[in-house]
């Protein structure tokens, strides 16, 4: 396991996810160094409760893995931090501010299906959008724009296919370009929504390594939603489990135990460790099959 | 034969045709990127109803066409209606609109030629005033596209990230629908309601086969649209067959040629 930033250790008291433990955190004052703070945050969509009284402080540089069954509100958590969905109660802070759309310090890798093979777009165009796609008009400094896009393409090793139609690339290649798109704005907070979905093992490793390297070198915070913990197990400082009714957050060692997971899921589950891998039996840990998930409300 | 080129109506037709082609080619890129083929049909059909209603009310059909297209676009955009082929409700409303248009025209049988020109285009009948109107609308469309180019592109191709980056995705839809309404009204003059696809979708569909670079795709799309439009006018002037026939034939040929021509392989 990676070194844990000091400030994270202090937050461990939230403990293994009993609802009551959350109360403590609610009385915590705002922590100036925190990347993300949730205080008694509750979310409901269309009148339905998604998660309730979520309290969590994520330190700068922390790698937080988020797991939970489909529909538990993992994507919605990211959308709250992006300023796209309001909480019904409590508060969320990103770098000490109320979440707002278009925050320049956030890089976002959406839960995404593959691009239409016919789409008239190259990889470098997708990456370029991450840089200035939100500005009016057309690009006025194409040379500077291009240089910056090239630099980030080199960083993720996607330069070789950046001029090909993006829809013709493999899932792993498309995901590298999505990472480049998220990184080009120099984010200090990366929100990754199931970025390993339907990737082969090699591509999964590449994606994880790119995100981990960015986090390490920039001291960037990562919130990483995944259906399979194993590819990020050695990077995770903490795991947040959302189950709908309950939630819990703790270090992987303390979270991934039969007792903790059984109490959070409310049904008996077995945690089996084999070498470096963990298997949770008896319940869906995350988005189960690597099936493209329909976007909500788009 | 060549003497025909001395006539003002041919010049007018070429001018309106060129303006329309540039507009349709550029807008068509976004129509294909946003998968909005059905909206093109829908707006054109509402435009027909509006034009027919205008004829009935004694107003110029162009006015009815334009206002119906814009109103329909605004309604679709503000209500957030999703235009999908499968949507029975929308299909039914559109068919009702067309039926209403047919009634309007039959009530005034002397306007049968009007109906024909709205349905199939009447580019050879445009006058100097039409040229001016087309130029103004065309300039408006291109200026709007230029202004929103980057956020529209982002919202069209990658809506999830665009939204997170603070782009008003809904507003972009409304803006694009209004731009599309203007483009539809322009293109109806050339090929009519029923053949609208031939200018607003086919050239862009051919262009995306030739390149994946957005700027180039828009350029190719406008060039193809211009080529088939001018070709159609020339064909019609020489044969006195309908312009729409030539435009749709050339458009099909361009599309087939683009499909058969190899798409750029992976770099
Ligand atoms: N825009 C929306 N409209 C209606 N329901 C939504 C919307 N977005 C999310 N939901 C619902 O909220 C719940 C949580 O969704 P989501 O955050 O996508 O879960 P997860 O990512 O954990 O699978 C789901 O039940 C989903 O159906
Ligand atoms: Mg999700």
The CATH number of the domain where A90 resides is what? 3.40.50.300
Judge whether residue A294 has pLDDT over 50: no
Average pLDDT, integer, range A109-123: 90
How far lies B229's CA from each of A102, B37, B116, in Å? 42, 20, 19
Residue A165: which of A119, A128, A206, A214 has the closest Cα? A119
In whole angstroms, give the CA distance from residue B251 to residue B245: 10
Query: What does the DSSP assignment read for B184-227?
Result: HHHHHHHHTTTTTHHHHTHHHHHHHHH---HHHHHHHHHHHHHH
Is the pLDDT score of A292 beyond 80? Answer: no
**Looking at the 3D structure of chain A, how many domains does it have?**
2
pLDDT at residue number B77: 84
Domain closes at, from A142, A161, A186: A186
Q: What is the pLDDT of residues A52-102, one digit of tens each?
A: 999 999 999 999 999 999 999 999 999 999 999 999 999 999 999 999 999
Tokens of B163: 């939204």
Partner residues linked to A94 by β-bridges: A36, A97
Q: State which ligand 1 atom lies nearest to the alpha carbon of A194.
A: 21
Q: Kindly indicate the confidence band of residue B81, based on its pLDDT and cuts at 50, 70 and 90.
A: low
pLDDT of residue B82: 66
pLDDT of residue B165: 96
For residue A16, pLDDT beyond 50: no
**Can you tell me which atom of ligand 1 is nearest the CA of A68?**
22
pLDDT of residue A17: 40
Torsion of CA A20, A25, A26, A28, to 10 degrees: 150
Report how far apart, in Å, the C-alpha atoms of B148 and of each of A139, A184, A292, B231 are. Answer: 11, 22, 30, 31
- Banded model confidence at residue A42, pLDDT cuts 50, 70, 90: very high
Q: Say which residue, A171 or B3, is predicted with more confidence.
A: A171
Residue A297 has a pLDDT of 34
Q: Give the global pTM.
A: 0.89
Q: What is the pLDDT of residue A290?
A: 39
Question: Which has more pLDDT, A191 or B190?
Answer: A191
Percent of the residues in chain A that have a pLDDT greater than 90, as a whole number: 69
Boundary residue ending a domain (A155, A186, A217): A186
Rounded to whole angstroms, the Cα distance separating A134 from A183 reads: 15
DSSP state, A271? E
Residues A12, A64 within the same domain: yes
How far apart, in whole angstroms, are the C-alpha atoms of residue B192 and residue B180? 15
- Tens digits of residue pLDDT in A192-212: 999 999 899 999 999 999 999
What is the CA A201 to chain-centroid distance, rounded? 19
User: What pLDDT is stored for residue A29 in this prediction?
Assistant: 52
Contact A228, A199 (CB under 8 A): no
**pLDDT(B234) > 90:** yes
Least confident of A164-173, B68-77, B93-102: B93-102
**pLDDT tens-digit readout, A229-286:** 999 999 999 999 999 889 999 999 999 999 998 889 888 888 988 878 888 888 766 5
The pLDDT value given to residue A3: 46
| Local confidence band at A18 (pLDDT 50, 70, 90 cut-offs) | very low
- pLDDT value for A25: 44
Which of chain A's residues have a Cβ under 8 Å away from the Cβ of B157? 119, 121, 126, 129
* pLDDT at residue B110 in the model: 65
Q: Which residue from B151, B217, B266 is facing A164, i.e. has the nearest CB? A: B266
Q: Are residues A196 and A269 in the same domain?
A: yes
- Rounded to the nearest angstrom, the distance between the alpha carbon of A226 and the centre of ligand 2 is 9
In the predicted structure, residue B263 carries a pLDDT above the cut 70 = no
Q: How far apart are CA A112 and CA A157, in angstroms?
A: 21
Instruction: Say which residues have a Cβ less than 8 Å from residue A259's Cβ, sequence separation at least 6.
Output: none
pLDDT confidence of A26, banded at 50, 70, 90? very low
- Per-residue pLDDT reduced to its tens digit, B84-140: 655 677 778 788 888 888 888 778 766 667 777 888 888 888 999 999 999 999 999
Tokens of B128: 């100097």
* Cα A47 to Cα A296: distance, rounded to the nearest angstrom: 16
Atom 9 of ligand 1: nearest residue by CA position: A296
Cβ–Cβ < 8 Å for A244, A42? no
Which of B158, B208, B267 is the closest to A164 by Cβ?
A: B267
The domain of A97 spans 1-105+188-298
Residue A147, Cβ neighbours under 10 Å: how many? 10
* CA A291/CA A38 separation, integer angstroms: 30
User: B262, B190, B258: which is closest to B223 by C-alpha?
Assistant: B258
Indicate whether residue A46 lines ligand 1 (CB < 6 A). yes
- pLDDT at res. B116: 79
Report the candidate in A103, A57, A51, A101 with the shortest Cα–Cα distance to residue A76.
Answer: A51
Q: Looking only at Cα atoms, what is the longest distance across chain B?
A: 60
Residue A76 beta carbon below 6 angstroms from any ligand 1 atom: yes
Q: Are residues A32 and A95 in the same domain?
A: yes
Give CA–CA dist B68/B45, Å, rounded: 9
Is the pLDDT score of A12 beyond 60? no
Q: What is d(CA B29, CA A5) in angstroms, rounded to the nearest whole number? A: 49
CA separation (Å) from A116 to A62, A111, A132, B32, B173? Answer: 35, 15, 23, 11, 20
Angstroms from A103 CA to nearest CA on chain B: 7
DSSP state of A29: P
Residue A14 in this model has a pLDDT that exceeds 70: no
Q: How far is the CA of B118 from the centre of ligand 2 (A)?
A: 48
pLDDT of residue B55: 85
Q: Are B226 and B22 in contact (CB under 8 A)?
A: yes
Give residue A134 CA to ligand 1 midpoint distance, Å.
26
B146 contact residues in A (CB cutoff 8 A)? 137-138
Q: What is the DSSP letter of A47?
A: T
Distances (CA, A) of A60 to A37, A222, A270, B186: 11, 9, 33, 55
Nearest CA in chain A to B32: A119
The domain at B2-194 falls in which architecture?
A: Orthogonal Bundle (1.10)
Closest-CA distance of chain A to residue B189, Å: 28
Which of A75, A107, A108, A133 to mutate against chain B (most B CBs within 10 Å)? A133
CB B19 within 8 A of CB B230: no
Ion ligand 2, residue ranges at CB < 5 A:
A 75, 111
Instruction: Indicate if A213 and A282 belong to the same structural domain.
Output: yes
Least confident segment among A26-30, A195-199, B66-70, B252-256: A26-30
Which residues 6+ apart lie within 8 Å of A10 measured at CB? none
Mean pLDDT of chain B: 89
- Res B2: pLDDT: 57
pLDDT tens by residue, B1-47: 456 778 889 999 999 999 999 999 999 999 999 988 888 988 999 99
What ipTM does the predicted assembly reach?
Answer: 0.89
Per the CB < 8 A criterion, the answer to whether B137 and B24 are in contact is no
Q: What's residue B93's pLDDT?
A: 77
Residue where a domain terminates, one of A160, A186, A212 = A186
Angle of helix B8-33 relative to helix B128-157, nearest 10 degrees?
10
Mean pLDDT over all residues of chain A?
86
Q: For the packed helices B112-120 and B61-79, what is the interaxial angle rounded to 10 degrees? A: 50
Instruction: Decide which of A275 and A105 is more confident.
Output: A105
Closest partner residue to B150 among A122, A136, A181, by Cβ? Answer: A136
pLDDT at A137: 92
Q: How far is B21 from chain A (nearest CA, A)?
A: 20
Separation between Cα atoms, residue A148 and residue B166, nearest integer Å:
21
Q: What is the largest CA-CA distance in chain A?
A: 60
| Average pLDDT score over residue span A213-232 | 96
């Amino acid at each position: 396991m990676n070194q844990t930033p000091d400030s994270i250790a202090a937050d461990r008291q939230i403990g293994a996810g009993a609802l009551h433990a959350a109360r403590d955190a609610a009385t915590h004052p705002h922590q100036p160094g925190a990347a993300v703070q949730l205080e008694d945050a509750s979310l409901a969509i269309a009148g339905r409760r998604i998660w309730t009284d979520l309290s969590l402080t994520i330190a700068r540089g922390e790698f937080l893995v988020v797991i939970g069954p489909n529909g538990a509100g993992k994507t919605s958590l990211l959308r709250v931090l992006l300023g796209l969905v309001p909480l019904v109660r409590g508060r969320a802070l990103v770098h000490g501010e109320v979440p707002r759309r278009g925050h320049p310090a956030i890089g976002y890798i959406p839960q995404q299906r593959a691009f239409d093979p016919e789409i008239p777009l190259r990889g470098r165009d997708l990456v370029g959008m991450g840089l200035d796609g939100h500005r009016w008009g057309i690009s006025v400094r194409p040379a500077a724009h291009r240089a910056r896009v090239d630099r980030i393409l080199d960083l993720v090793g996607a330069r070789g296919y950046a001029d090909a139609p993006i829809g013709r690339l493999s899932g792993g290649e498309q995901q590298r370009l999505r990472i480049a798109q998220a990184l080009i704005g120099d984010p200090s907070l990366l929100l990754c929504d199931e970025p390993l979905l339907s990737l082969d093992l090699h591509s999964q490793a590449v994606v994880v390594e790119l995100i981990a390297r960015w986090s390490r070198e920039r001291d960037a915070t990562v919130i990483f939603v995944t259906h399979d913990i194993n590819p990020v197990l050695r990077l995770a400082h903490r795991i947040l489990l959302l189950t709908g009714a309950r939630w819990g957050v703790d270090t992987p060692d303390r979270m991934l135990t039969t007792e903790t997971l059984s109490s959070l899921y409310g049904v008996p589950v077995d945690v089996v460790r084999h070498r470096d891998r963990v298997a949770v039996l008896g319940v869906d840990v995350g988005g189960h099959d690597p099936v493209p998930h329909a976007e909500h409300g788009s | 034969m060549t003497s025909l080129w001395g006539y003002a109506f041919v010049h007018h037709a070429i001018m309106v045709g060129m303006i329309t082609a540039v507009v349709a080619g550029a807008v068509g890129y976004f129509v294909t990127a946003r998968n909005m083929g059905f909206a093109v049909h829908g707006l054109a059909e509402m435009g027909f109803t509006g034009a027919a209603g205008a004829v009935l009310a004694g107003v110029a059909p162009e006015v009815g066409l334009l206002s119906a297209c814009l109103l329909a676009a605004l309604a679709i955009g503000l209500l957030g209606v999703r235009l999908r082929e499968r949507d029975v409700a929308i299909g039914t409303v559109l068919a009702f609109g067309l039926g209403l248009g047919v009634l309007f025209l039959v009530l005034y049988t002397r306007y049968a030629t009007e109906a024909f020109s709205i349905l199939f285009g009447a580019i050879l009948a445009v006058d100097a005033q039409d040229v001016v109107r087309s130029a103004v609308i065309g300039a408006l469309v291109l200026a709007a596209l230029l202004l929103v180019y980057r956020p529209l592109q982002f919202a069209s191709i990658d809506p999830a990230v665009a939204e997170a980056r603070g782009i008003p995705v809904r507003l972009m839809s409304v803006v694009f629908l209004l731009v599309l309404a203007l483009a539809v009204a322009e293109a109806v003059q050339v090929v009519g309601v029923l053949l609208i696809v031939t200018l607003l979708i086919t050239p862009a569909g051919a262009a995306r086969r030739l390149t994946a670079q957005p700027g180039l795709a828009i350029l190719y799309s406008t060039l193809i649209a211009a080529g088939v439009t001018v070709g159609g006018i020339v064909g019609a002037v020489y044969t006195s067959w309908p312009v729409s026939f030539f435009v749709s034939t050339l458009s099909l040929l361009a599309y087939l040629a683009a499909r058969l021509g190899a798409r750029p392989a992976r770099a």
